A and B are shown apart, each in its own frame.
Chain A
């Protein structure tokens, strides 16, 4: 028994030692996630870039068991990463986000995420993520191998129970046995498994580009509706591929197509508006699961069609793909041999991936060429810590932070360039969503090239715009509907916590002034300006809060905060200078009532800002007091 234990694989201690790849561009969250995962005794690798993550995953397909990825990342959309991992490596992917918006969660699910976690992540949630690995393993092994028909009725965890209910009876026993093999550490079971590894632990099939292409060709030959795994398998004629592998891949492919066609339907109008590319475009859809670009091989017309028939969001979304994978996947920037890639018989992973995603043809090389240039520039900027291009914030603003830092990082320079990009893409998005027929193919291409050529623009802009425009297209109305409840909630948050706001505000101001007197002044100036400009708004919100004016008067709260003393007075007085000057020590109900009555006389023009300002005004007025 001891011998068997010694030769047992580390996986037998599963979930201990499960190999997780964590991807998040936010270093705070990444460090926290890493520590939490280590605390769960997983084997953790982290990276802050999606590109690096993909590279790591492609290097060695069997290096990881699970991927956890943030949704919003600058170099690549989390959903894109999700898709690629799902299609290429068939690993379970968990999405992570600070935004728990239903739409996003839905998007995660349709893209194939096996879970969607909200930040802040708790350790309890992470302790159960191993279930996704086990679950996926089970589905991959759909073959009818009956070696594991022992009766092991006891199942350890809830995750297992869920799985058991999904599968047929005949396989239930096998599943239980496998689970016990995974979870229990009974020697006899482990011993048995080790004797017969080939039936228990089948090597995972890697769906390389080649394989997938064959698969797609077979599916197309049979017709997507008539494509049955058995026939596909026959057509593909690949060794060591089982019907079950094909079946699960087909399942994923169908999901992908469904998702694409849903987007395609929305875009079909756009395509019609843009020209005769309809049939080409629609035909392109099913031809390649990995990316529509693949079918554009060797056709000049098609390249136009590609750009034409993809509405702005589509273009941007797709551009993001080559930018994200094709270009950045290259080991060094400046490799613009896009033309070569398609023809090369190169079998390296990066290049083969490039093949799928890059739009062939010289015409497109320009567009994409722009990207590596901007990529290089971006890297340059990052390296040299270029100070901003464009407007500098005023001195008052920079002094808000005691931390010295007049060096703006590249992001700001990216931001300054943004207006142009933002305007361009905004116009595209607007036109796209309203489906005007005036958007000409040449315009689109030019705009795209322009965007590609803009120096200093990070690819994150594309990502963000792609995401944005996707969201806009799919959910424009929803977004607006969401905005109001969100703001209402924000307002409620403010209202529900009035007592807590008082003392900290005093000390808030005071603490800032401790560091230097400037921050308070600096911050005050814009506040003052905003107050002056928006006084009517201000009054309006006072009304909402006049329900509980007594909350503002809380001299006890001042005493509660020990150690906050003399510095507070001048700050408070300064703030209160906006109202009638009063003795220090608290908010004045009197001044509130004055404002409340003044607010009654508000003009009609303030109303339009009401909803939007609701939350913010509540906050700001407290600050000003």
Chain B
């Protein structure tokens, strides 16, 4: 029974992953992350992704506070935040988030505040979505590991 649970969870996980890839939310870079995970770094993916979440939320807060400022004029600073966001998003394979960053950067290069604001909204949405999906993924993975782990002693 427990074995079945683990398999079912794995199927769930794969389905979710397939969905995320299909929708372009994640790309192959995420696979690279998974490949880097092994016995010597068993939690690598969740580690990196958690750091990414932490940093991204800081960046998004910064971006929003920049844009909300009435006398906002420092597009360069915004560009720097964006650049970092873009770099980290592409590094973990968050394709859609990164694409929004590209549009955001375009707006900021033209000093288009309204466009930046809109892009920020979109960015927040995309990020929110990604975060939820990845949390879901990790949860399933955790459950799967638990289920699979309990299984092995029984085999002996």
Which residues on A are within 8 Å of B, measured CB to CB? 25-29, 31-32, 35-36, 39, 70, 72, 97-99, 119-123, 388, 390-391, 393-394, 397, 400-403, 405, 408-409, 411-412, 415-416, 418-419, 422-423, 426, 460-461, 464-465, 467-468, 479-480, 482-484, 486-487, 489-491, 493-494, 497, 500, 503-504, 507-509, 511-512, 514-515, 519, 523, 526-527, 530, 533-534, 537, 560-561, 609, 611-613, 615-620, 623
Contact = CB atoms under 8 A, between A and B. Distances in A.
A123 B32 contact: yes
A417 B69 CA distance: 11
B142 to A, nearest CB: 18
Contacts of A402: 128
A486 B116 contact: no
Nearest to A511: B132
Interface string B1-42: 000000000000000000100111100010011001000010
Q: Top 3 closest A-B pairs, CB basis?
A: A98-B87, A612-B112, A620-B118
Contacts of A619: 100, 103, 118-119, 122
A612 B71 contact: no
Nearest to B63: A415
Interface residues of B, number: 72
Contact of A617 (B69, B100, B115): B115
Given A120-B90, A122-B32, A72 B124 contact: no
A423 B115 CA distance: 21
Nearest to B52: A28
Contacts of A120: 29, 32, 90-93
B107 A615 contact: yes
B84 A519 contact: no
B62 interface: yes
A98 B90 contact: yes
A415 B119 contact: no
Contacts of B77: 415, 418, 422, 461, 464
Contacts of B25: 504
A620 B106 contact: no
Contacts of B47: 31
B141 interface: no
A530 to B, nearest CB: 6
A35 B36 CA distance: 7
A400 B58 contact: no
A494 B51 CA distance: 28
A416 B69 contact: yes
B107 A612 contact: yes
B84 A72 contact: yes
B92 A490 contact: no
B129 A511 contact: yes
A611 B109 CA distance: 12
Contact of B112 (A39, A460, A493, A609): A609
